[in-house]
Chain A
Amino acid sequence: MQCRYAVTLDEIVARAEALYADTELRTLARWKEGGGRVVGVAPAYVPSEIVDAAGALPAHLVGGGPGLDVVQGDAFFQSAICHLPRSLVDLGVRGALDALDLLVVPSTCDVLRNLTGVWRLLWPDRPVFFLDLPQRTDAEGVAFYREQLARLLAEVARVTGATVSTDDLRRAIGVANQRRMLLGELGELRIAEPAHVPASELHLVVRAGALLPPREHVEMLESYLHVCRTTPRPRLDVARVLLRGAFCEQPPIGFLRTLERAGCAVVDDDLLLGLRWFGRPVDMVDEPLDALAVAYVCQSPPASCRYDRAGDRPAALVDAARASRAQGVLLAAPSFCDMALLDRPALLQALESAGIPSVQLQYAENSADFGAVREQAGTFADALRLWQDLA
């Protein structure tokens, strides 16, 4: 299985798996030892192009996953909240985030918002930047956000010591656009032939981008796309499903593998949404910060963490299910996540009206027992296949 980039599927997956297993974030420490700068970005979305433009590594912090035994992180949070901030703080206490020159936390939800305060109280000398994303979709929202992007750029430049030019920003937006395009192509291939792009494998390869420099990740995705296109894999008798609700805290890879073993082929998902966010490329002609601001306000996906003034999110889910020819929808959500869970009634109603079956699942990034998921997903997949046969 040799591709034109002289990398095999096994090699790509092995590299992605190694990065996935790097719970203690040694990759970041090595990058730092080599003289590089690192800016951590919390989910769901931060315009990491600004970090890349400054020559720093944007590290997408997705928590510790099942490999991290959270000991100290729990002490700072009450019981009824999701797992992500616990593992992030635990990583901080262990020193795994010492490599960060800056942490950028977006206004995804109140958990992350308050995490900025926890961070400041625990580590007053470590810079943290709160990015208040606009909830408005008009000129006021653009203007407010544009000012924040300018502040973010100034802070990134300050901590990295870099002078960031307009060309640097354009180059970084170009790389991010390439990544979006490749992810889009992988998404299309998966819809056409789910067996060619297994969801768990794709997730590993996408997740590698959390720790790789964007340019390197683009190369990895190019190789992976080529391999997926050219490697014959057997078709499976599976149910096509769409997965929603995983835009922030990530389910462990075991969760996705369990879905596959239970007979579900995930043909669309919102896993690691922040790495792509926009369905279309960001404009390369406009002044870069203007382009990023306008893109966020006008082109963002209907993610649960953005206010949906027009009430489009339920219809968008139905459209996505139809576009991906999904037979059913898995509404997955991290436990205690108000952002994802409060959407459920409206999404369920829209799916039901459209005649699209759905099932609800909850997870935590450190879940290790997938018995209930296997049971639920297996029953759902069987039912979907049965309906398909009857139809």
Chain B
Amino acid sequence: MTPVQKDEGMVRQKAMLQAHAERAARARDEGRKVVYTFVPGNLVELLLSFDVEPVYPEITALQSGMRRASDRYIREAERAGHAEDVCSYVKCDVGMALAGDVGPGKTVPAPDLLLLSGTGCATFYKWFESLAGIWRAPVALLQVPYQADGAVTDEMRRYVVAQIRDDVIPALERLTGRRFDIDRLREHLRLSARAEDAYSAVVESARRRPSPIDAYFGMVFYVGPIFTALRGTLEAVEYYERLRAEVETRARAGLGPVTPDGPMGEQRFRLVVEGPPCWTAFRDLWKLFSDAGAVVVASTYSKVGGLYDTGFRHDPDRPLESLADYCLGCYTNLSLPQRLALVERYVRDYEADGFVVHSVKSCKAFGVGQPLLLREVERRAGVPGCFLESDLVDSRYFSHANVRNRLESFLQAIDMRRKA
């Protein structure tokens, strides 16, 4: 295999996340506290206002998957009694903790607090039950009501705000021995909104032909800072403003995204993708798409950490309310009809030729109802759909031949439709 190629945004993203991982690894020695929390509905601005170090177990798990360490951790968790059929992120993370907690290249520090932001996934509760048992760390709980009826109500917002105010903030005050400083929070929220503006422009750039980005495979690199520890920092603002310029330059030059195997050639198919990727076969999967000339112009996975392209911004004038709205609005917290409407909009706005569901065995939050979603998108948006199945970080469930065959047939169907 040729060495992995990356665009400038990807290189800088890696360096930023690496630096953060190193800072987190030093946290203990430098007297800073470590808080584990989840990507969807994360309260990173609040954590930054207390100078604590956020660590995201899903990110640790997916990084383990990308560097092919996850299978070993999963076996470790299964040896400790975990079943084969549960979310592999949980098993990877638990297995890593049991194996001595060595993270991707760096030691992942143990948590001083588990901030259970229960946005969009019931398994999160079980995950932190397991980690609380292993680490004996206190838990701050944030239950985020589900948007089953397709809207955020005052009642839901009030509940989330009350929990942030009465449980999460006091837990952080106890942890750090500091008083909550609303002005610091406002400042981080202001920086978040700036980064979100620039980030949204990057997302929207995929409307161009050819698309200068891959909004699924390439986007997982770009979302790193804004989904995790760096949203709310000046560093993230600068990152996204430069990324916007870089993407704009590529678009003006009529260039597509850079894939791990080099710049993408002709874009024959514009696709919308639903569901998380398979991390253990990430490069392989991307290559299957790019070799066939398929570029992803919009994806739902890149919205799990926030739906900025539909207009949401963190708001320094409504600090706790806007944190609540952020948590309530993440993609996996949306009802299935809302998700369908969003995908339909993506197909239309980004002039997609087809819709792909990448369904991962692990994830019920994403997965339950995906076959119906596919059928309805085909019916309503009038584009063909393709259903691929594998897993997040358990390589046993990725079959190259199976995915290739399905993808090829799907792309042929698009071709035939064009000819007809």
Question: How far apart sit A138 and B163, CA to CA, in the bound complex (Å)?
Answer: 10
B292 to chain A, nearest CB (A): 24
Of B17-25, B30-38, B124-132, the one touching chain A: B124-132
Assess the A135–B372 pair: CB atoms within 8 A. no
Contact of B143 among A135, A305, A313 (CB under 8 A): A135
Contact mask B74-108 → A, CB, 8 Å, 1/0?
A: 00010011110111001000100000000000000
Question: How far apart sit A27 and B130, CA to CA, in the bound complex (Å)?
Answer: 42
Assess the B369–A342 pair: CB atoms within 8 A. no
Given A80-B85, A309-B139: A140 in contact with B369 (beta carbons within 8 A): no
Question: How far apart sit A67 and B35, CA to CA, in the bound complex (Å)?
Answer: 49
Question: How far apart sit A76 and B372, CA to CA, in the bound complex (Å)?
Answer: 5
Assess the B130–A346 pair: CB atoms within 8 A. yes
Q: What residues on A are CB-neighbors of B94 within 8 Å?
A: 345
Given A140-B159, A335-B85: A81 in contact with B368 (beta carbons within 8 A): yes
Closest A residue to B132 by CB, please name it.
A311
Q: What residues on B are CB-neighbors of A108 within 8 Å?
A: 122
Is A325 positioned at the interface, with any CB of B under 8 Å from its CB?
no
Q: What residues on A are CB-neighbors of B121 within 8 Å?
A: 110
Given A76-B371, A113-B148, A144-B155: A342 in contact with B365 (beta carbons within 8 A): no
Is B146 positioned at the interface, with any CB of A under 8 Å from its CB?
yes
A171 to chain B, nearest CB (A): 28
Is B335 positioned at the interface, with any CB of A under 8 Å from its CB?
yes
Assess the A117–B141 pair: CB atoms within 8 A. no
Closest A residue to B139 by CB, please name it.
A309
Interface residues of B in 324-368 (CB under 8 A from A): 335-337, 339-340, 359, 361, 364-365, 367-368
Closest A residue to B361 by CB, please name it.
A80
Contact mask B157-171 → A, CB, 8 Å, 1/0?
A: 001001100110000
Is A188 positioned at the interface, with any CB of B under 8 Å from its CB?
no
Question: How far apart sit A130 and B334, CA to CA, in the bound complex (Å)?
Answer: 13
Interface residues of A in 318-376 (CB under 8 A from B): 333, 335-336, 338-339, 341-346, 348-349, 362
Interface residue tally for chain A (C-beta within 8 Å): 54
Assess the B141–A344 pair: CB atoms within 8 A. no
Is A118 positioned at the interface, with any CB of B under 8 Å from its CB?
yes
Assess the B122–A346 pair: CB atoms within 8 A. no
Is A120 positioned at the interface, with any CB of B under 8 Å from its CB?
yes
Q: What residues on B are CB-neighbors of A313 within 8 Å?
A: 129
Assess the A118–B155 pair: CB atoms within 8 A. no
Contact of A78 among B163, B337, B339, B371 (CB under 8 A): B371
Assess the B81–A111 pair: CB atoms within 8 A. no
Q: What residues on B are CB-neighbors of A138 within 8 Å?
A: 167
Assess the A76–B369 pair: CB atoms within 8 A. yes
Assess the B336–A78 pair: CB atoms within 8 A. no
Is A219 positioned at the interface, with any CB of B under 8 Å from its CB?
no
Given A122-B372, A309-B139: A342 in contact with B86 (beta carbons within 8 A): yes
Is B311 positioned at the interface, with any CB of A under 8 Å from its CB?
no
B154 to chain A, nearest CB (A): 10
Assess the A115–B368 pair: CB atoms within 8 A. yes
Assess the B118–A135 pair: CB atoms within 8 A. yes
Question: How far apart sit A313 and B359, CA to CA, in the bound complex (Å)?
Answer: 32
- Residues of B at the A interface (CB closer than 8 Å) are 77, 80-83, 85-87, 90, 94, 116, 118, 121-123, 125-127, 129-130, 132-133, 139, 141, 143, 145-146, 148-149, 155, 159, 162-163, 166-167, 335-337, 339-340, 359, 361, 364-365, 367-372, 376, 389
- 5 interchain residue pairs of minimum CB distance: A117-B336, A130-B148, A345-B81, A114-B368, A342-B126
- Residues of A at the B interface (CB closer than 8 Å) are 75-81, 85, 107-111, 113-118, 120-122, 130, 132, 134-136, 138, 140-141, 143-144, 147, 304-305, 307-309, 311, 313, 333, 335-336, 338-339, 341-346, 348-349, 362
